[in-house]
Amino acid sequence: MTITHPQGFEAAGIAAGIKRTGALDLALVVNRGPAQQAAAVFTSNRAQANPIIWSRQVAADGIVSAIVLNSGGANCFTGPEGFQVTHRTAEAAASGLGVAAGDVLVCSTGLIGDQLDGEVLEEGVVSAIARLSSDDGGGDDAARAIMTTDTTPKQVVVVGDGWSIGGMAKGAGMLAPGLATMLVVVTTDAALSAADLDSALRAATRVTFDRLDSDGCMSTNDQVTLLASGASDVAPEPTEFAAALTEACRSLAMQLQADAEGASHDIAIEVVGAVTEDDAVEVGRSVARNNLFKAAIFGNDPNWGRVLAAIGTTSAPFDPYLVDVSMNGVRVCHAGRPDAPRDDVDLTPRATHVLIELHAGEASATIFTNDLTHDYVHENSAYAS
C-alpha cells in the first residue's frame, strides 16, 4: 500500500536531523523509468515557499526524475538563502542519482520563517539515496518522514488492468483550497504523456483536495505531484486513468480530513439544487468556513440557523426562504422554516452529513470539513513550542 507499488519507483525515509525529536524527516522518491513523465499542481497562495518557486520551474517541462521532501521546516519567507538551500537539495539529489538538478522537485513542510540547514539537508539526501528501496518498507518510511502534526501516515494503492497507482500524503492543519499544509506524491507505472497526466491530475484535484476545507487556512507549501514511469508498458484510456486517479486522490483527501488537528467530527456538506457547480461549491464553502456552525457541530447542536446565515453571505442565486437543510438524515429546516425537532438529530457519531437543498437548479457539490474544537485551538497555539 505504498508509492513503490507501481513498477519503476524507489523510495526512502530517514532521520536527517531536521527535527529536534530525531524522528524521520526527509523522504526521497525516485522514478527509475523508463519514462520520467510528470505533472504537478501547486498552492494558489500568493505567499509561496522557496520549494514551490523551484518546483514550478522544474515541473514546467513535464519531466521529473526524483522528488525530495522534508518535514521540520517550511523554508518559506527565508530569503535568498532559503532558495539556495532548496537549490542545494536538488543538486545533492541530482549528483547522487546521476540526473539533472532541473529534473528534481523539492517540497518542504513545517514552521514558516525558520531557516533550514543546507548541509543537514545535503547529507540527508546522500543518506536517503543509500537507503532507496522498491519494497513497501521504503515507501512507508517516506510517508512517515513527511509527517508534521499528522498522527498517522496517509497512503493508497489503486490497481488497474496491468498498471497501478500509489500515493502518499501529509496534512493535518491548514487544509483549505489552494490545495490544502498538504504534500502529496502519486506514482503510476502507466504509460501516459505529461499532457495526459496534467489533465487527469487537475480533474482529480478539482473534486478531491480542492473540496477539502478543514479550517479555511491556505498553506504556502501545498503541492500535489504525479509521476509516471511507464514501466508497465500499458497505456490505459485517459478517462479510465483519470477515474482511478480521482479514486486515489479521494482516498488520500478523506485520510487527511480524518486526521485534521483536534477534530471530533468529519463533516460532509452536500449542496444540491444549485444553478451551477461553482455556486454549489461557494455555498458549501461558506458553511465549512463558518466558525459558529463548526462550533455548534462540536457541541452536537444541529443549529441549522447558522447554516442559513452562512449561505446568505454568498453570491449564489437562490431564495433563502425555499432552502431545506438536513443533518444526518433529519430535515430540520424546510422552506426556510423549522421542520423536524432538533432532538431528532444524532450528532454523536464522528461522521456528519449536512444536506443543503437550494431548489434553484440541477448542479451539486460536496465540501469536506471538520468541527472547531478546544484541541484544535490548543494544538495550533502550542505548535511552535
Residues assigned a catalytic role? 181
3-state secondary structure (DSSP) of residue 119: helix
Q: What's the Cα-to-Cα distance from 128 to each of 53, 86, 315, rounded to whole Å?
A: 23, 16, 50
Contact 71, 116 (CB under 8 A): no
3-state secondary structure (DSSP) of residue 247: helix
The set of cell numbers assigned to 22 is 530525531
Is the four-CA dihedral 255, 260, 264, 269 of positive or negative sign?
Answer: negative
Compute the distance between CA of residue 262 and CA of residue 244 in angstroms, rounded to an integer: 31
Supply the DSSP symbol for 8.
T
The set of cell numbers assigned to 199 is 489533465
Compute the distance between CA of residue 90 and CA of residue 157 in angstroms, rounded to an integer: 27
Contact 107, 55 (CB under 8 A): yes
Report the candidate in 183, 321, 309 with the shortest Cα–Cα distance to residue 252.
183
Quickly list H helices, the chain: 50-59, 79-97, 118-130, 136-145, 194-207, 238-258, 277-288, 291-298, 304-311, 374-381
Supply the DSSP symbol for 206.
H
The set of cell numbers assigned to 329 is 438524515
Q: Rg of the chain over CA atoms, in angstroms?
A: 21
